Chain A
Amino acid sequence: MQTPSQTTSMAETASAPTTPRRGFVAAILTIVVAAAAVWAAQQGLNSYLVTLLALLFINAALAVSLTLTNGLTGLFSLGHPAFMTIGAYVAAILTFSARRKGSMLPGLPDWLASTELSMFPALLIAGLVGGLVALAIGWAVLRLKGHYLAVATLGLIIVVQGLATNWDGITRGGAGLSGLPRHVNIWWALGFLVIVVAITWRIKYSSLGRAMMAVRENELAASCSGINAARLKILAFVIGAVMAAMAGALLAHLISVVTPKTYSVLLAFNIVVMVVIGGSGSITGAIVAATAITVLSEALRPVEESIGLYGMSQVIVALCLIVVLYLKPGGLFGSGEPAFVRRLFSGRKTQ
């Protein structure tokens, strides 16, 4: 897990704060500009493009949340789709119309079958359940290192998929839950992205983030300097899982359907590609790469359909990854943020 850029990231976090308020103002201004852009997009673009934009925001949020787990803390987890599936099903069961729920999902207990929540509480509960599952799994799995952790979390995806497919009474099996209320629009997606980025940014530039990076660089040395590495790893895993579960819930209510196969291993791969291409640990990189990959695969889709070569866009994404690993193994931005982004938002002087 050694990338050449990691030394610079440590130097960058050590620089003294000058005007924290300026960073806050810059962040608010950015959000206002983004909101204005979204409003303009809603006026000017057709609904397909607006949905695509919402998808892009959620993908970016997913990549940023994985940056926290994989990039900052160095846990190579592929489990995001598992937590997304959990979050999506929890939220879907909660928001589903109470009139149809009893007959469609006979396995539900009565109190669940008669509740019908709105999106916001359902989203919070989805995140909570995702976090609790991550806590239980993390306690067991986080003792593993490197690719052992990767395979165990890959296995977790298959375990969750198997449960979703076979637990008919609660999940309606392979057919999945369709006709979910379309509670989520682009504003939800933007809001979610802003919150995820804000939290990740705050963590990265705090003592907690520095402790995470210390664990990534050398767990033994970090433990020796008084960091509780085990607790920190579980914390990073759980925060990532909560964000993933919420993203899964949002996505399900954006496209109004969730099936056991909606969030697959392929998705895990794509999110990891976003993190690796952006540079593991770089929030800017994750957002840039998520944008590039979402736009690239959507742009290639009509090409794929017209020449009948399904799967081509995914091959291109995989080849892009191999080329990046080959030429720039640390990713586009390494572990840090580009200088102008850092200057703008943290209000700190850069060396």
Chain B
Amino acid sequence: MNQYLFQQLINGLALGSLYALVAIGFSMIYGIVRLINFAHGDLVMIGAFSTLALVTAGVPWPLILVFVLAIGAIAGMTIETIVFRPIRGASQVTGFIATLAVSIAIQNSALMILSGQPRNFLFPAFMRQRVGFGGVNASLTDIAIIVLTLLLIGGLFLVVYRTRLGTAMRATAENLTAARLMGVAVNRTILAAFAIGSALAAVSGLFWGGKFGQIDPLLGFVPGLKAFVACVIGGVGSIGGAMLGGYILGLAEVLFVGLLPQEFSGYRDTFVFLLLIVILLIRPSGLFVRQTEERA
């Protein structure tokens, strides 16, 4: 295979993995509480800076992964308990504004504490080497991101489809009142969804830092919005759809930059959001989900 194309493919899959990890949490939360959670992107930032702090403290890498998952889960549960639970039952728009407020509060608190200066963030040297197979090569970072993401998503599917908690989550997403009547501890289930989704977003922050080498307090905003785009592509509320949407978006973005002339590469984000508007117009329920809910 042609090295250039292969490189683009790996790049797109790695970027898609990052989007997929954020989008899955986004979609889980939407599926259960019908809340577009804009603070979700900021968990990417929290994950990235937690990783930096842990690296500085000298914690070994496998442990860092576990810690970052835990930090993300705790942050997500805190936000849900303090802000979202008290306003549950308010209108969609009220909830949306509240998540926007949480996002702005997190971003600016981070600016206050960490300052706006971007920080360097590097994976250890062995992760940055390139491995070759069959005439093509790719960076170990990208491969690790792709493989670890698949493992995490596999684990998530096991939880959602093979455990009591997962059954409770699917029941709550289907019909919150009915689930409560059947004896599902709804608040605890919602808390668990926030914990899992936020943990995945935080890990994507770890990967984000490793892939791009620089992190700053506002880095979560655009991934947060793009996760929404990924969800819309796959159908908001569906976990598998969000995953596929993330990969499609990552590949589309890389292809857009890779195949068009250099001077168009600045229009990358413009392209993504035009794509969003177009998809919302043609298939508002996403490419893979049958029409169930009124969106347009």
- Chain B residues packing against A (C-beta within 8 Å): 36, 83, 86-87, 90-94, 96-98, 100-102, 104-105, 107-112, 115-116, 221-222, 225, 228-229, 266-270, 273-274, 276-277, 280-281, 284, 294-296
B294 with A158: CB separation less than 8 A: no
Q: Digit string of A1-12 for contact with B (CB within 8 Å is 1, else 0)?
A: 111000000000
Q: In the complex where A140-B281, A155-B273 touch, is A148 in contact with B296 (Cβ < 8 A)?
A: yes
Bound together, the chains give a CA A315 to CA B109 distance in angstroms of 7
Bound together, the chains give a CA A159 to CA B269 distance in angstroms of 7
A318 with B97: CB separation less than 8 A: no
Bound together, the chains give a CA A141 to CA B13 distance in angstroms of 30
Chain A positions within 8 Å of B270 at CB level: 158-159, 162-163, 166
B108 with A166: CB separation less than 8 A: no
B267 with A166: CB separation less than 8 A: yes
Grouping DSSP codes into helix (H, G, I), strand (E, B) and loop, the A interface class, with mixed when no group exceeds half, is helix
Bound together, the chains give a CA A143 to CA B110 distance in angstroms of 37
A311 with B111: CB separation less than 8 A: yes
User: A269-316: which have CB < 8 Å to B?
Assistant: 269, 272-273, 276, 309-312, 314-315
B105 with A315: CB separation less than 8 A: yes
Query: A-B pairs with CB below 8 Å: how many?
Result: 128
Q: Which 10 A-B pairs have the closest CB atoms?
A: A162-B270, A311-B108, A155-B273, A311-B111, A166-B266, A318-B105, A314-B108, A318-B101, A318-B104, A147-B36
Interchain nearest-CB distance for A223 vs B (Å): 15
Interchain nearest-CB distance for A167 vs B (Å): 9
Q: In the complex where A145-B296, A151-B36 touch, is A162 in contact with B266 (Cβ < 8 A)?
A: yes
Q: Digit string of A138-178 for contact with B (CB within 8 Å is 1, else 0)?
A: 00110111111011101110110011011000000000000
Chain A positions within 8 Å of B107 at CB level: 311
Bound together, the chains give a CA A318 to CA B101 distance in angstroms of 5
The residue of chain B having its C-beta at the shortest distance from the C-beta of A330 within the complex is B94
B225 with A151: CB separation less than 8 A: yes
Q: Given B91, B104, B276, B295, which contacts A2 in the complex, CB threshold below 8 Å?
A: B91
- Chain A residues packing against B (C-beta within 8 Å): 1-3, 76, 140-141, 143-148, 150-152, 154-156, 158-159, 162-163, 165-166, 265-266, 269, 272-273, 276, 309-312, 314-315, 317-319, 321-322, 325-326, 329
Bound together, the chains give a CA A319 to CA B296 distance in angstroms of 32
Q: Given B94, B266, B273, B296, which contacts A158 in the complex, CB threshold below 8 Å?
A: B273
A321 with B273: CB separation less than 8 A: no
The residue of chain B having its C-beta at the shortest distance from the C-beta of A322 within the complex is B101
Chain B positions within 8 Å of A159 at CB level: 269-270, 273-274
Interchain nearest-CB distance for B237 vs A (Å): 13
The residue of chain A having its C-beta at the shortest distance from the C-beta of B95 within the complex is A147
A144 with B284: CB separation less than 8 A: yes
B221 with A265: CB separation less than 8 A: yes
Chain B positions within 8 Å of A165 at CB level: 266
B277 with A147: CB separation less than 8 A: no
A155 with B105: CB separation less than 8 A: no
A148 with B280: CB separation less than 8 A: yes
Interchain nearest-CB distance for A337 vs B (Å): 21
Bound together, the chains give a CA A165 to CA B268 distance in angstroms of 12
Of A148, A155, A273, most buried by chain B (CB within 10 Å of CB) is A155
Bound together, the chains give a CA A141 to CA B221 distance in angstroms of 22
Q: In the complex where A144-B295, A148-B296 touch, is A325 in contact with B97 (Cβ < 8 A)?
A: yes
Chain B positions within 8 Å of A155 at CB level: 225, 229, 273, 276-277
B87 with A315: CB separation less than 8 A: no
The residue of chain A having its C-beta at the shortest distance from the C-beta of B265 within the complex is A166
Interchain nearest-CB distance for B85 vs A (Å): 11
Bound together, the chains give a CA A143 to CA B295 distance in angstroms of 8
Chain B positions within 8 Å of A3 at CB level: 91
A158 with B267: CB separation less than 8 A: no
B93 with A76: CB separation less than 8 A: yes
Interchain nearest-CB distance for A173 vs B (Å): 9
Chain A positions within 8 Å of B92 at CB level: 1, 146-147
Q: Given A143, A315, A325, which contacts B112 in the complex, CB threshold below 8 Å?
A: A315
Q: In the complex where A147-B96, A162-B267, A266-B104 touch, is A310 in contact with B91 (Cβ < 8 A)?
A: no
Bound together, the chains give a CA A148 to CA B102 distance in angstroms of 19
Q: Given B91, B109, B228, B267, which contacts A151 in the complex, CB threshold below 8 Å?
A: B228
Chain A positions within 8 Å of B96 at CB level: 76, 146-147, 150
Q: Given B87, B277, B294, which contacts A140 in the complex, CB threshold below 8 Å?
A: B277
Q: Given contacts A269-B101, A329-B94, list 13 more A-B pairs with CB under 8 A.
A: A1-B93, A2-B91, A147-B96, A148-B296, A162-B270, A166-B270, A269-B100, A276-B97, A310-B116, A311-B107, A322-B102, A325-B87, A329-B90
Bound together, the chains give a CA A168 to CA B211 distance in angstroms of 29
B98 with A322: CB separation less than 8 A: yes
B93 with A143: CB separation less than 8 A: no
The residue of chain A having its C-beta at the shortest distance from the C-beta of B228 within the complex is A151
The residue of chain B having its C-beta at the shortest distance from the C-beta of A143 within the complex is B296
Chain B positions within 8 Å of A329 at CB level: 87, 90-91, 94
Of B111, B222, B280, most buried by chain A (CB within 10 Å of CB) is B280
Chain A positions within 8 Å of B228 at CB level: 151
Q: In the complex where A2-B91, A141-B277, A159-B273 touch, is A315 in contact with B97 (Cβ < 8 A)?
A: no
Q: Given B225, B268, B274, B281, which contacts A143 in the complex, CB threshold below 8 Å?
A: B281
Chain B positions within 8 Å of A163 at CB level: 267, 270
Chain B positions within 8 Å of A158 at CB level: 222, 225, 269-270, 273
A144 with B296: CB separation less than 8 A: yes
Bound together, the chains give a CA A166 to CA B257 distance in angstroms of 14
Q: Given B87, B115, B295, which contacts A148 in the complex, CB threshold below 8 Å?
A: B295
